[in-house]
Amino acid sequence: MSNKKQTAKAGDAEPQDFESSLEELEGLVEALESGELSLADSLDRFKRGVTLSKRCHQLLDQARQSVEVLTNPEDEDSVTDFDTPQN
């Protein structure tokens, strides 16, 4: 269980990519579903999970917008990056 605590504390930094965020989120879900955490630990992990879930949604939205820009039939000659503000 100490490894899970270390993972949660080490995971407080914002993951850089979708895969890392999703992997950490899946680990949190597994820990929560185990039923072995205290209420305080469960709440901390739940809060972290909400943050990661929002990050995953943000990254998916950015990817979707990039695909829309790349596949825009009205502007086939122009390929631009869709730049979104980072929170």
Which CATH number fits the domain that encloses residue 54?
1.10.287.1040
Return d(Cα 16, Cα 30) in angstroms, integer.
21
pLDDT digit of tens for each residue in the chain (87 aa)? 444 444 444 456 776 899 999 999 999 999 999 999 999 999 999 999 999 999 999 999 999 999 999 998 776 565 566 666 665
User: What is the reported pLDDT for 16?
Assistant: 82
Structure tokens at 85: 């503000």
Q: Which residue has the tokens 């899970």?
A: 4
Residue 80 lies in a domain: no
Residue 79 lies in a domain: no
User: What is the reported pLDDT for 4?
Assistant: 44
Which range of residues forms the domain containing residue 48?
2-70
Residue 60 lies in a domain: yes
Number of independent structural domains in the chain: 1
User: What is the reported pLDDT for 13?
Assistant: 72
- Contact between residue 25 and residue 46 where contact means Cβ atoms under 8 Å apart: no
Global pTM reads 0.67
CA 23 from chain center: how many Å? 8
Residue 76 lies in a domain: no
Residue 40 lies in a domain: yes
Structure tokens at 60: 């998916």
Residue 41 lies in a domain: yes
H-helix segments, the chain: 2-10, 18-34, 39-70
